[in-house]
């Protein structure tokens, strides 16, 4: 809250009132923790959104693992081909 007051060039009480007006009007989203004197501007995510994001990340990770497996197999095949040509 003190840093926000510095940015706004207002006292902490004036900053809190200004922030409250902005939240009430719907211009921004914020949560104020008065005892800790902190302000959070990020919305908490719905459980479904968190699971969908996690699912997407796992899907991307599995795709990368599959690609890595293919690259390793390709490298092994190239190494075996070079080795067999040298032995001839």
Domain range list for the chain: 2-40, 45-88
Q: Are 41 and 30 in contact (CB under 8 A)?
A: yes
Global pTM reads 0.49
Task: Please tell me whether residue 83 adopts helix, strand or coil conformation.
Answer: helix
pLDDT at position 64, please? 97
The residues with which 40 forms a beta bridge, in sequence order, are 31
Residue 10's CB is within 10 A of a number of other CB atoms, namely 15
For residue range 35-71, what is the model confidence (pLDDT) as tens digits? 888 888 888 888 999 999 999 999 999 999 999 999 9
For residue range 73-87, what is the model confidence (pLDDT) as tens digits? 999 999 999 888 887
């Amino acid at each position: 809250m003190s840093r926000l007051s510095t940015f706004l060039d207002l006292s902490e009480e004036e900053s809190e009132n200004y922030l409250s007006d902005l939240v009430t009007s719907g211009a921004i989203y914020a949560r104020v923790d008065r005892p800790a004197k902190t302000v959070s501007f990020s919305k908490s995510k719905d459980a479904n959104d968190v699971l969908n994001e996690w699912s997407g990340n796992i899907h991307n990770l599995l795709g990368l693992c599959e690609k890595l497996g293919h690259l390793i197999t390709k490298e092994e095949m190239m190494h075996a081909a070079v080795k067999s040509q040298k032995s001839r």
